[in-house]
Chains A and B, each alone.
Chain A
Amino acid sequence: MSAEAAMAHAALGHDDAHGHDDVPDDAHFGHATGGKIAMWMFIAQDGMSFGGLLLAYALLRVHATDWPVPVHILGIGLTAFATFVLICSSVSMVLAVEAAQACDQKNLVKWLAVTIGGGLTFLGIQAYEYHHLVERGIGFSSSYLRETGTEVNDLFGSTFFAVTGFHGLHVLSGVIYLTCVLFKARTGKYTQGGISYSPVELVGLFWHFVDLVWILVFTFIYLL
């Protein structure tokens, strides 16, 4: 686009607020930045890691004859609330990305802080749940329900802590990642127009992935 055409484009109100004009149009990936493509490849690989864990869980469960009904042991109400918190944090993350694209630093910082709060709440609930389960006798290597005095298949506890713990580590990583972005957002680094918002979009993709995986983990580990 020539300089004159670009000026006319901007004057007509067609100036791309999302900075798409800063990234050359690619036939396969459009205006996606290299960072965005790399993040998607990371997410795909990480998704397969979770897929492997859930596949192992499913096969162990199918072959076990004494697998307990998860809703009889795990606290569904509290975990459903944690799921709701994570969904809320996904919405606040979307709003943070929108604010960054609109060069609105104040709202960007606000929504990033809300998202971090959601992540910390989720981690707090998970820590409380782990503590409660261990007190009741459900451990990583052996499981025995103290209140009823019944043996529980040891693999139930092992797979539960392995899958939810792996996800919890992702939430923790996301909170740390978001905190780093928040500190830089306070300096106005991501609200300078063009594609300066890109790092916020990348942390957003990671955070939504963490939410997406939890939706599947919640169903397969807790409800089925």
Chain B
Amino acid sequence: MAHAGSTKDGQQVQSKKATFFTIFFILAVLTVIEVFVPQVYSAEWNSHTKMLLLCGLAISKATLVGLYFMHLKWEKPWLKYIALMPVYMGVFAIILMLETVYRQVGR
């Protein structure tokens, strides 16, 4: 029985390692895509597409690091709430930016 237990533990460790390497592969691919985005969307008229794509890629990568490498996926909700504290600041930043853009458009 103990042997069965250790085999199960070994399989769990292997499966966790496979998850970490999958995340690493995804992060590497997203980084390559990120580097090419400014070249593909270099014109002034598609700068908003570039901004949205880059922000989306960066947030996706940061979320993957937080969830898997920092183990937030397996933590209790309160640790997740603490980790989300800087995100509230991000929301505040978006509101400020929108207000600034609104004022500039209104001029």
Identify the A interface with B (CB < 8 A).
11-15, 17, 26, 28-30, 32, 36-37, 40-41, 43-45, 47-48, 50-52, 54-55, 58-59, 62-63, 71, 76-77, 80, 83-84, 87-88, 90-91, 93-95, 98, 102, 205, 208-209, 211-212, 215-216, 218-220, 223-224
Cα distance, A144 to B101, chains bound together (Å)? 28
Which one, B54, B57, B77, B89, contacts A55 given CB within 8 A? B89
- On whether the beta carbons of A87 and B24 are closer than 8 Å, the reply is yes
Chain B interface, >50% SS class: helix
Closest to A26 in B: B76
| A43-B2 contact, Cβ under 8 Å, with A84-B28, A219-B34, A224-B54 | no
- On whether the beta carbons of B86 and A44 are closer than 8 Å, the reply is yes
Chain B residue contacts of A84, Cβ below 8 A: 28, 31
Q: How far, in Å, is A220 (CB) from chain B's closest CB?
A: 8
| Interface residue ranges of B47-91 to A (CB < 8 Å) | 50-51, 54-55, 57-58, 61-62, 65-66, 69-70, 75-79, 82-83, 85-86, 89-90
Cα distance, A48 to B62, chains bound together (Å)? 15
Chain A residue contacts of B66, Cβ below 8 A: 208, 212
- On whether the beta carbons of B83 and A94 are closer than 8 Å, the reply is no
- CB-based closest 3 A-B pairs: A13-B5, A47-B86, A219-B58
Cα distance, A178 to B2, chains bound together (Å)? 35
- On whether the beta carbons of B82 and A215 are closer than 8 Å, the reply is no
Would you mind naming 25 contact pairs between A and B with Cβ atoms under 8 Å apart? A12-B1, A14-B5, A17-B9, A26-B76, A30-B79, A32-B75, A40-B83, A43-B83, A47-B89, A48-B86, A54-B93, A55-B96, A58-B97, A59-B96, A59-B97, A59-B100, A62-B100, A62-B104, A71-B38, A80-B35, A94-B20, A208-B69, A209-B70, A215-B58, A224-B54
- On whether the beta carbons of B70 and A208 are closer than 8 Å, the reply is yes
Cα distance, A175 to B75, chains bound together (Å)? 26
Q: How far, in Å, is B68 (CB) from chain A's closest CB?
A: 8
- Centre residue among B1, B4, B61 by max chain A CB count within 10 A: B61
